[in-house]
Structure 1
Amino acid sequence: MQTEPFQIAVPDADIDDLRRRLKQTRWAPATPAPAWEQGIDPAWLRELVAYWADQFDWRAAERGLNSQPQYLAEVDGQRVHFVHRRGAGPAPYPLVVTHGWPGSFFEFYGLIDQLCDPAAFGGDPADAFDVVVPSLPGFGLSAAPAQAGMSAFQVADRWAALMRGLGYTRFGAQGGDLGAGVSVALAARHADCVDGIHLNFLPSSYEPAEGAAVRPLTPDEARYLQEKNDWAALEGAYAHMHATRPLTLAASLNDSPTGLAAWIAEKFRAWSDCGGDVESVFSKDDLLTNISLYWYTQSIGPAIQMYWENRLQPMRFAEGQRVRPPVGFAHFPKEINHPPRSWLERTFDVTQWTDMPRGGHFAAMEQPQLLAAEIRRFFRPLRH
């Protein structure tokens, strides 16, 4: 596998075009509703868009993104962009970390430092990792799939090939959101090279190997399934749209940066442990760095396409099927679903489970130190 170093360099004309579009936003008429009750708060969105147009420094953000070593590689016919940071320790352990939507590889910049150089944060250098953070196919700087069918399972096949191409015969995997599905698929399909997986989210399509027909639901499991259904009814419209009409939605979001910002930023508020104040956890610069990656690469359409593919290939396990590599799970209190440990244990060998003190869906950005400590602890006995 050939890799080539890569640096982000957005043309000046694209930056000028974005500013022009932002300043020409045709704002939706206001409705008589409390702030955030019906989605994005229009007043806050106007403030964010004004900052994006007049104050946000993309070149500074670009320099920050380019501070981590990035590469491009052709992996089983798919062009993949990835960060590959070597660890500072006596025997760094290889770990592939996968993002989800509406995130990007940028989500993990704080976590990468913690994992690669634990001694710099008061940790043990023996816990260092070699960290690989690929961009999902169609997200940001990874090319959109040329053929249909790129679900979490096919992404996992590419990640296994990527890690082998980088010289790692055995490795671990970590992820949340869509990245949790990819990590589960890696464990299920590539147990010969995956030592274990650490998750901070359970894919919503997960159906265990030992379902209710095999073993009756516990009260906690029944409560979880009801809460998951209730959440989908009130909060899951975005996912249903992604999974059923991605092209219709993409036509709007790829043309309007204000619409794109509203679609993405609202989720960072709703799904994080921010107490309703999104900027208490994420700065405008961080939000806009992530949103700008979607905008400049025109990747919102290919990215949400993965929901379509995952709907056609859900995370379902046959009766009696077990996933062999061990699983660690960090349960953050403001995550969007809260499965009980027993629900995972119907399919997985859960060797570490931690109820985290704070944090939400974007754990790597919200609480990188806490998440890094959990990842280190889980993989410590699995290192070779």
Structure 2
Amino acid sequence: MKTTLSIILLAATYALSIPTIVNAQYYETPASFSTLNKEIRPFKINIPQAKLDQLKERIAQTRFPDRETVKDESQGIQLAQLKDLVSYWGTGYDWRKLEKKLNALPQYVTHIDGLDIQFIHVRSKETNALPLILTHGWPGSPLEFIDAIGPLTDPVSYGGKAEDAFDVIIPAIPGYGFSEIPKEIGWNPDRVAKAWNVLVKRLGYTKYVSEGGDHGSVISDALARQAPSGLLGIHLTMPATIPSELVKPINAGDPAPAGLSEDERNAYVALSTFFGKNAAYGGMMVTRPQTTGYLLSDSPSALAAFLYEKIAEWSESDLHPENVIGRDAILDDITLYWLTNTGASSSRFYWENSNNNFSSDHQKTKDIRVPVAISVFPHEIYQAPESWSKAAYPSLYYYHKAPKGGHFAAWEQPQVFTEELRAAFKPLRLH
């Protein structure tokens, strides 16, 4: 059964469903909670050991299916590959290493529009650093950007110049990571974008830029359409550029029409293949997120399979993302989903954003007047052609093909990602 473009979303990562005071078991805050909602509170992760022990017990009790009947990945992630990952997860992986790494960073939580939003905020030592908000996607998380923090905030130590510096803000989308899980409908990309603007202004910034891939691209698009005061521009790694006349033929799996350039034809074929063979996960999450959540909340190995398959497919790794991202880093991300029990809530963000992420008509990109920059990574789900990008985004001022990397640009290639942002946002620093 084919999944239509109109119900596929590509993205996400989110958080704890419990109110703030109960949430205190996961982080340390000042003793009193009787403060104004606009307060920015320090955040430290402290997962109870009992939860980590329980995770290992459940991993040990995994009942795997029988082996696939093909010799490739056409039926999904192969049994031997997943068993190897899960075995290490249960016996060799150490969550506390990540916890220590994150707790060494400036982490905070603040209340916006009824929810606690958790975020990392690292200020550069350089003067006139440009404030930058980075938004993750699914099956990633704020962890995608951790290794890019150094190059972004301290460019001199990573081959750049002092004037390349950014102040970095990395929030978790509501329903992902350690941000609060929404209890009502309506937390769609537009609402998240409004919350991001509040967050940046609450931190004291009057001007800033936004970057995102996957859900982050959709949220950055929404932010650019809203065009709040101080937003200088956005950078996208997964732009919405499919011409409206090509949506139906791509979804139907029709041959590429005549008259397309080589880049356009390649993009057409990649999208047709994706929606025809690899997008069923999105159809599940956008139509039945709660049912999907039961599976992802009850079985750690099922959660690992669901997330790891897409990390493998979408990274530039020949289906072995451990070689690019690292096995521990992948398990950090999967474990974050498990410990925060956000399988259902992260899926519901797909339900909230039921438009296709790639279609320029659906994303109303032509309404955007804020400056737009696009970096195309060679192993992204599709490589947005420059012609489509210019047509979709009238305010496009920067378009560049990165030399390496995939869907998880910052996670896979933090230095290349950083260089793209330095180049893309350089003209906007003068404003």
> What's the TM-score once normalised by structure 1's chain length?
0.93
Q: How has the CA–CA distance of structure 1 residues 277 and 137 changed in structure 2, closer, same or farther, with 3 Å as cutoff? A: same
Q: How has the CA–CA distance of structure 1 residues 318 and 2 changed in structure 2, closer, same or farther, with 3 Å as cutoff? A: closer
* Pairwise CA distance, 1:207: 6.4
The 3-state SS of whatever aligns with 1:25 is: coil
> Is the 8 Å Cα contact of residues 208 and 347 (structure 1) preserved in structure 2?
no
* Pairwise CA distance, 1:171: 0.7
**Which of 16, 27, 33 is the matching residue for 2:53?**
16
- In the aligned structure 2, how far is the partner of 1:320 from the partner of 1:123? 32
Aligned: 1:119 with 2:156? yes
Correspondence list, 1:7-156, <5 A: 7-156=44-193
**Which of 254, 275, 285 is the matching residue for 1:232?**
275
Aligned: 1:360 with 2:392? no
Structure 1 residue aligned with 2:298? 255
Q: How has the CA–CA distance of structure 1 residues 75 and 207 changed in structure 2, closer, same or farther, with 3 Å as cutoff? A: farther
> Is the 8 Å Cα contact of residues 322 and 347 (structure 1) preserved in structure 2?
no
- In the aligned structure 2, how far is the partner of 1:56 from the partner of 1:31? 26
Structure 1 residue aligned with 2:420? 374
The 3-state SS of whatever aligns with 1:148 is: coil
Structure 2 residue aligned with 1:270? 313
> Is the 8 Å Cα contact of residues 117 and 179 (structure 2) preserved in structure 1?
yes
The 3-state SS of whatever aligns with 2:371 is: strand
* Pairwise CA distance, 1:275: 2.1
* Pairwise CA distance, 1:115: 0.5
- In the aligned structure 2, how far is the partner of 1:165 from the partner of 1:313? 32
Residue deviations 1:2-47 (CA, integer Å, cap 9, x gap): 1101011110110011011000011112232214231111111111
> Is the 8 Å Cα contact of residues 76 and 161 (structure 1) preserved in structure 2?
no
In percent, how many aligned pairs have the same letter?
38
- In the aligned structure 2, how far is the partner of 1:177 from the partner of 1:217? 29
Q: How has the CA–CA distance of structure 1 residues 197 and 208 changed in structure 2, closer, same or farther, with 3 Å as cutoff? A: farther
- In the aligned structure 2, how far is the partner of 1:81 from the partner of 1:351? 32
> Is the 8 Å Cα contact of residues 177 and 203 (structure 1) preserved in structure 2?
no
232-241 or 142-151: bigger deviation: 142-151
* Pairwise CA distance, 1:326: 1.1
- In the aligned structure 2, how far is the partner of 1:217 from the partner of 1:174? 34
254-263 or 267-276: bigger deviation: 267-276
> Is the 8 Å Cα contact of residues 371 and 396 (structure 2) preserved in structure 1?
yes
Residue deviations 1:151-178 (CA, integer Å, cap 9, x gap): 1111101101111111112210001000
Q: Which has the higher contact order (CA 8 A, sep 6+)?
A: 2
The 3-state SS of whatever aligns with 2:353 is: helix
* Pairwise CA distance, 1:218: 6.2
374-383 or 248-257: bigger deviation: 374-383
- In the aligned structure 1, how far is the partner of 2:96 from the partner of 2:235? 34
Correspondence list, 1:189-338, <5 A: 189-203=226-240, 219-220=260-261, 221=264, 224-225=267-268, 227-311=270-354, 316=361, 321-338=366-383
> Is the 8 Å Cα contact of residues 178 and 203 (structure 1) preserved in structure 2?
no
> Is the 8 Å Cα contact of residues 126 and 165 (structure 2) preserved in structure 1?
yes
Q: How has the CA–CA distance of structure 1 residues 252 and 186 changed in structure 2, closer, same or farther, with 3 Å as cutoff? A: same
* Pairwise CA distance, 1:347: 3.6
The 3-state SS of whatever aligns with 1:254 is: helix
Residue identity in the other structure for 2:378: P
> What's the TM-score once normalised by structure 2's chain length?
0.83
- In the aligned structure 1, how far is the partner of 2:144 from the partner of 2:125? 21
> Is the 8 Å Cα contact of residues 72 and 80 (structure 1) preserved in structure 2?
yes
Q: How has the CA–CA distance of structure 1 residues 132 and 18 changed in structure 2, closer, same or farther, with 3 Å as cutoff? A: same
- In the aligned structure 2, how far is the partner of 1:208 from the partner of 1:253? 34
> Is the 8 Å Cα contact of residues 240 and 392 (structure 2) preserved in structure 1?
no
* Pairwise CA distance, 1:219: 1.5
Residue identity in the other structure for 1:20: E
* Pairwise CA distance, 1:224: 3.4
* Pairwise CA distance, 1:313: 8.9
- In the aligned structure 2, how far is the partner of 1:302 from the partner of 1:132? 22
Aligned: 1:341 with 2:386? yes
> Is the 8 Å Cα contact of residues 317 and 347 (structure 1) preserved in structure 2?
no
Q: How has the CA–CA distance of structure 1 residues 241 and 12 changed in structure 2, closer, same or farther, with 3 Å as cutoff? A: same
Count of residues paired in the alignment: 379
Structure 2: 5+ residue stretches without partners: 1-37, 249-256
> Is the 8 Å Cα contact of residues 151 and 313 (structure 1) preserved in structure 2?
no
Q: How has the CA–CA distance of structure 1 residues 321 and 35 changed in structure 2, closer, same or farther, with 3 Å as cutoff? A: closer
* Pairwise CA distance, 1:302: 0.3
The 3-state SS of whatever aligns with 1:126 is: helix
